[in-house]
Each structure stands twice: as C-alpha cells, then as structure tokens.
Amino acid sequence: MKTVFSPAHARHHPHHEISDGTLKPAVEIPSRAEMVLAAIEAAGLGEILPPEPIDRALLERIHDPAYVAFLETVWDAHRAAGRAEDEAFPFVWPTPGLRPDRAPRHLDGRMGFYSFDAGTPLTAGTFEAALASASVAVTGAGLIAAGERSAFALCRPPGHHAMADRYGGYCFFNNAALAAERLVADGRRVAILDVDYHHGNGTQAIFYDRGDVHVVSIHADPDDEYPYFLGHADEIGEGHGEGANLNLPLALGADWPVWSQALEIALGSIERHRPDAVVVSLGLDPYEADPISHFRLTSDDFSRLGARLGRIECPVLFVLEGGYAVEALGANCAAVLTAFEGG
C-alpha cells in the first residue's frame, strides 16, 4: 500500500488547547504524524510519496472560498493587530439569535465567524499545514482513481470535524470530504466510513443533502462527548441525501464486542449503497489508552478492524484522523493497514 505524506504538517505546532474547561497542553501535535510515519516505515507498508499541489477549484467545491481566504490570511491579520502570541483562539460565535450572515471586519469577530469551538488554536503555519494535509488526501484519492486497490493518506492536521466554512476539533480542511469529492469527479459512487471516536460533524454536514456520497460514522454518543451538537442516530440526511447518512452512536466504554457489532451494521449499509470506492476516516482514538477518549479497543482489535476492512470489495483509501495516545498511535495505525493488506 502506498502512503502519501508531507513534512509540512509540522508547520502547525500548537502548544495549548482549551479542553476540560481550561487551558491545557495541546494533544494534536506534530509527533503524532512522525510516530505513524515511523511505524509504517518499520512495517514496510510500501512506497511513501509526496503530495501533488491541491486543485484550488476542488478545495473550493467543498469549502467556502471566503473561508479558504480567511485561513490563508488570518495569521497576517493576527500579526498586523500587534499580537505577539504564537497561537490564537476564538472566543465569540454568532449563535442562534445573532447575525450569522455577516463576517465582521474585526479579527476576533472573524475567528468566531469561521469556527465553532475554542479547542482549535491557529498558529503561524496552520494554513500551510492544513493545505498540505488536504493535498495528501486528494493525492491519495488520485492513486485510487489511477487503479490502486488501497492507499494511505497520512494526514495531519486531521479533517473530519471541519465544516464547509468553519474550523474546529483540531480540523481546518475536511481531508476525507476532499478525497471523496476527487473520487466523485472520477465518476465513482463513494462511501465514507468514519471510525474515529468522535462524530465527524464536518463530513456529515458537507454531504448531508447529497446522495452520491454515503456517510457512515461509528462514534461516542454526542450526548456525552464532543462534538455534542451533531451525530445522533436520527440524522439520516435530507433532500437528495435522505437515507445516505448513518450515525451509530455508542455509549462510553464500548469495547470490541460492542464496537464490532456497529462495524457490521456500518459495512452492511455501505454494501447496500454499492460504492466504487470507500474512504475510511481512520481515527485511532477508540483505543483503550487514548487520553481524551472513552472506548476500549485494544491494539489487537485494530488488527481485527484492518482484517475486516480488507474484505471490502472495492478500493479503499485510508485518511488519518484523530488518535492521541502518541506512543501507541503508530503501532495501532500500522496494525490496521498491515492487517488490511494481509486480509
């Protein structure tokens, strides 16, 4: 299996985040990607390729051009405002009852307008890293379009929380959605299987009214876990997308027997959609020792997951999402991918 990777991910290097109601050390850090890269090299997974530059028109089919321009220029605005800090957080949002239709001129208003949480710091190199991550995903999709049976997009920062016009959940561009869009442009029916511990609210929202991309997610019940305001079982899509969105929320503490039952339901739904390509949003944070999550998958369970995904009949693109148990992250990721190949 070929891997696509860009060292530009390290340009996004936050030191803090707001979580558990306070300022804490950041967990979405460059060592995550380095650990995954080292593990797949050690496992001999296959060739590692650099990404091709992303087609801006493709990027702007998934993301609002004004949002892309905001991310591209926000750090210059941060410096122009005389702010010397090396990370920036939004703190005010146009919630219902306020004006969500106008992007303010002021930097703080703009950060709130284009975000949905305070847990996702902007840094000097965030745009470059996010653009590289998106390029990695789309290049991976290009490998599938060119006839590969599988590919691994080693993306960082992750993407599945990013909405069409808002960042959050450590995500800026929706890498999996961009990869799916690239495959749709190739004439394929696409399914996205999101196995990250957290609901992929951005992916769901982007495709919610579309029938050509089937979105299935297994995640912690949003009544108890981030992103809280999306991810319930009664969200089934709308318009052309009605019936093309499936959420499988699970109670905190879910282990492999529980989680794998949801996986079978997810794969059955995907099979009925008869896709020509599957994009797996590969979050490794269902892991039992993940510092911010509460599922109980073991490293052996990630091998079981990979082997099961290896029985999917159409091509599969893996897109790296979350996973914060940095010491085990690489091994768990390699376990999925090598078991997929073995299966």
Binding interface with Zn ion (CB under 5 A): 196-198, 283, 285, 322
Specify the residue, 135 or 293, whose C-beta has the smaller distance to Zn ion: 293
Burial label for 235, CB within 10 Å (0-12, 13-18, 19+), is buried
Residues 271 and 186: beta-carbon distance below 8 Å: no
Specify the residue, 198 or 304, whose C-beta has the smaller distance to Zn ion: 198
Residues 154 and 4: beta-carbon distance below 8 Å: yes
Specify the residue, 165 or 196, whose C-beta has the smaller distance to Zn ion: 196
Cα torsion 146, 151, 157, 160 to 10°: value is 80
Provide, rounded to whole angstroms, the least separation between the CB of residue 292 and Zn ion.
Answer: 8
Question: CA 61, CA 32: separation in Å to the nearest integer?
Answer: 29
Specify the residue, 196 or 235, whose C-beta has the smaller distance to Zn ion: 196
Q: Is 260 helix (H, G, I), strand (E, B) or coil?
A: helix
Provide, rounded to whole angstroms, the least separation between the CB of residue 26 and Zn ion.
Answer: 14
Q: How far is CA 287 from CA 11, 161, 282, 302, in A?
A: 27, 19, 12, 8
Specify the residue, 181 or 196, whose C-beta has the smaller distance to Zn ion: 196
Specify the residue, 67 or 197, whose C-beta has the smaller distance to Zn ion: 197
Q: Which of 78, 161, 219, 273 is catalytic?
A: 161
Q: Which tokens go with 167?
A: 């960042």
**Residue facing Zn ion at closest CB distance:** 322
Provide, rounded to whole angstroms, the least separation between the CB of residue 300 and Zn ion.
Answer: 21
Residues near 95 by Cβ (< 8 Å), separated by ≥ 6?
A: none
Provide, rounded to whole angstroms, the least separation between the CB of residue 168 and Zn ion.
Answer: 12
Provide, rounded to whole angstroms, the least separation between the CB of residue 322 and Zn ion.
Answer: 3
Classify 169 in phi/psi space as left (phi over 0), alpha (psi -120 to 50) or beta. Answer: left
Q: H or E segment at 129?
A: helix 126-145
Residue type, position 327, single letter? E
Pairing type for strands 22-25 and 16-19 reads: antiparallel
Provide, rounded to whole angstroms, the least separation between the CB of residue 283 and Zn ion.
Answer: 4
| Block residue for tokens 């004006």 | 99
161 noted as active-site residue: yes
Active site residues: 161
